[in-house]
Amino acid sequence: MDKALSALIRISNAVGADSTLVQGGGGNTSVKTADRKYMYIKASGTALKDMNPNAGWRRMRLDSVLSIITDTSLNRLEKQTREVEVVNRLLLACDDRIIGDARPSVEAHLHGLLDTCVIHLHPSTVGAYLNAKTGRIRLERLFADLKLPPLWVPYVDPGFTLARKIAALVRDYTKQVKRMPQILLLEKHGLFVTAATPTAALRLVRMVIRRCSEKLIEPHAKRKAVANEAIRDAGLCIRRAFVEATGAYCPVTYFDDEQIAGFQRRKDARRLLSGGALTPDTLVYANGPAMWVEKCNATTIAARLKAQIRTGRKHSVAFLLKDLGLFVAGKKKVAQTVRDIVAYSFFIRVNADRMGGIRVLSGAQQKFINEWESEAFRKKLAGGVSEGSLNDRIALVTGAGSGLGRSIAVGLARAGAMVALADIDTKAAQQTAELIEKEIPQGQTITASCDVTNEGSVKAAFDRLLDNWGGLDILVNAAGIAPAYPLVDTPVDKWRLALEINLTGYFLAGREAARIMIRQGMGGSIINVSSKSGLDASKNNTPYNATKAGEIHMARGWALELGRYGIRVNCVAPGNVFEGSKIWNPEYVKVCAKKYGIKPQEVIPYYVNRTALKREIKGRDIADSVVFLCSDNARTITGQIIVPDSGQVMVR
């Protein structure tokens, strides 16, 4: 491995491990080769702590990078057009074998101007000064004894404009001091340190942080115990308001720690949050400051979000609820990043307020960042992209460890839903999760141990879903058994077990889902997986016939009850699905063979030939029917049955 790359990984991992320095995985690093022909730099969207010899960096030709800054023709382009052109040129300057979406840092041209090793961070301790009205004066005092005083960089738009500004400032500094600056303090942005060696660069970082930390306060307080139900109700409230205002479904994640508790208990918390965004990162990831909420009322919060959108601002994604904690609406993958950046802003706001007041990004500055393609790209990489008719809907599937439950769970994930995999067989549920992860890398799943016949177990499964994602849009009842006996030979315990799993299980899950959806107040979809045997009874199947017919009638009754809440309830009644089924086990196949006087190996072809289409039904066929019924394409369909059976049972 090249020595420069080795040095880059070393300094990146060292600073990236400290969340107070990088705020949500941000920051950039670079190291130039000894011959100054190349520069290794962090790739955009990569967390510094995750950089390794195989990923997270690009190698660039240094002369090509520096030529961008000296190209005066770029000044004549419109801002956003120019920034896209700069990104393209930076990509062209890359000289490595890396393929894919790994762009070099958008600040690569800025790094090229400085010494061999460059570390760019957003430490909260430095940020307190950079966002304070008297911050510059205080920093000059803090570092007055240094032979090479820090270079103060007034705020300008990031990207090309910032690189050109720093080029001019570094040139003037070098003329006056006869040396290049080692510390650059960027107003409302962050810290740059630059040195000849990795050790010297890391030493500078530690020195700056130590000095800046000495006179700052940490707004920490001991957490107060909060009832879980209060947290869940607040999450449902936030989610309803967010979806109503933005039209975008999303999970809601709850955070509470000593840092959050310390800020929310301040009497001036509301005032401190009333300003705009502090830095580009707070605007890109957190959409600005957290919204202060005295009392969780979905209508009121939705109105405030709509007002933000109406006036051209980014709508809040973080909500600080008095006496509860912080709620983040958005993809789970970036929720922790938002939390870190918001908590970072709490610290800065408290300390900057003590230093003459808080300086925030102006309207024009925010407008540039909001329209900057580079930041949109970085956010997209961090959050991932999910697309489909059920994009970011939250679903729970019972019996998700095998058979139709597994197929339906995979189908929902394909359609963009987040899926809780509930099954009494937790190992099987985990296998389903692994299948989804392999096919749909961006898919989101959790597993929940669930005995559908046990009231407490069912509630625990839904509580796990709420605690993880903060809401519920879809329930699919798919757990079931099919004890096959002639009537005269049916054991009563098998009859009762079928009633418990196929009816009580559907009832308990349906009841819990309905309660949550009503509390959430934004509708939902419940699907009961019945069977063609619920419509057209089969021989030697009394428990299955009865329970599958019962599931249909339960669904119809629920549709009538829950319609006023916008909750739709429907059934799918599949034909025989053999693929991955626990019902169609060898013993059950033998029973069917005996029933029709055929050999076991002839059972599946026999059933396929009974259909009008002469086509075997697969799990995906059933999943596609479920996805349709859960989607907005079926928004006026409730109390109905879809029969994906290749035409075996003709129902009108």
Q: How do strand 38-42 and strand 28-32 relate by DSSP bridges?
A: antiparallel
CA atoms within 13 A on the CB side of 520: 31
The helix (run of H) or strand (run of E) holding residue 12 is: helix 3-16
pLDDT at 143 exceeding the cut of 60: yes
Tens digit of pLDDT for each residue in 280-305? 888 888 999 999 999 999 999 999 99
User: 312 φ, ψ to 5°?
Assistant: 85, 10
Q: What is the pLDDT of residue 373?
A: 59
Q: What are the distances in angstroms from CA 42 to CA 18, 104, 106, 119? A: 17, 6, 10, 10
Q: What is the pLDDT of residue 160?
A: 86
Active-site choice (544, 565, 588, 596): 544
Largest Cα–Cα distance of the chain, in whole Å?
102
pTM: 0.89
Tens digit of pLDDT for each residue in 29-76? 999 999 999 999 999 878 899 999 999 999 999 999 999 999 989 888
Confidence class of residue 594 from pLDDT cuts 50, 70 and 90? confident
CB atoms within 10 A of CB 450: 31
Return d(Cα 504, Cα 498) in angstroms, integer. Answer: 9
Average pLDDT, integer, range 342-363: 94
pLDDT at 174 exceeding the cut of 80: yes
CA nearest to 622, candidates 588, 578, 583, 572? 572
Confidence class of residue 27 from pLDDT cuts 50, 70 and 90? confident
pLDDT at 647 exceeding the cut of 80: yes
Q: What is the pLDDT of residue 105?
A: 87
The percentage of the chain sitting over the pLDDT mark of 70, rounded to a whole number, equals: 97
Average pLDDT, integer, range 456-471: 98
pLDDT at 371 exceeding the cut of 50: yes
pLDDT at 381 exceeding the cut of 60: no
Confidence class of residue 380 from pLDDT cuts 50, 70 and 90? low
User: 403 φ, ψ to 5°?
Assistant: 55, -140
* CB of 401 closer than 8 Å to CB of 407: no
Query: Tokens representing 615?
Result: 């086509």
* CB of 484 closer than 8 Å to CB of 544: yes
User: 631 φ, ψ to 5°?
Assistant: -85, 170
Tens digit of pLDDT for each residue in 632-646? 999 999 999 999 988
Return d(Cα 69, Cα 84) in angstroms, integer. Answer: 14
Single-letter amino acid, residue 602: E
Return d(Cα 373, Cα 377) in angstroms, integer. Answer: 6
Single-letter amino acid, residue 445: T
Average pLDDT of the chain, as a whole number: 92
Please name the residues in contact with 302: beta carbons below 8 A apart, sequence gap of 6 or more.
Answer: 240, 241, 242, 244, 245
Please, what's the b/e burial string for 608-639 (b: 16 or more CB within 10 A of its CB; e: otherwise)? beebeeeebbebbbbbbbbbbbbbeebeeebb
The helix (run of H) or strand (run of E) holding residue 255 is: strand 252-255
Q: Is 254 a catalytic residue?
A: no
Q: What is the pLDDT of residue 383?
A: 52
User: 27 φ, ψ to 5°?
Assistant: 100, 160
Q: What is the pLDDT of residue 369?
A: 87
Average pLDDT, integer, range 3-14: 95
* CB of 120 closer than 8 Å to CB of 86: no
Return d(Cα 23, Cα 346) in angstroms, integer. Answer: 12
C-alpha dihedral, 497 to 500 to 506 to 509, nearest 10°: -120
Confidence class of residue 361 from pLDDT cuts 50, 70 and 90? very high
Return d(Cα 339, Cα 27) in angstroms, integer. Answer: 17
E-state strands within 392-488:
394-398, 418-423, 445-449, 474-477
The helix (run of H) or strand (run of E) holding residue 31 is: strand 28-32
Tens digit of pLDDT for each residue in 516-567? 999 999 999 999 999 999 998 988 899 999 999 999 999 999 999 999 999 9
Q: What is the pLDDT of residue 604?
A: 85
Domains and CATH numbers, the chain: 3-213 (3.40.225.10), 228-383 (3.40.225.10), 394-579+617-642 (3.40.50.720)
pLDDT at 652 exceeding the cut of 50: no
pLDDT at 588 exceeding the cut of 90: no
Q: What are the distances in angstroms from CA 155 to CA 152, 189, 375? A: 9, 8, 17
* CB of 558 closer than 8 Å to CB of 527: no
pLDDT at 149 exceeding the cut of 90: yes
Alpha-helical (H) ranges within 504-618 are: 505-520, 542-562, 586-596, 603-609
CB atoms within 10 A of CB 3: 11
Most confident of 6-10, 52-56, 610-614: 6-10
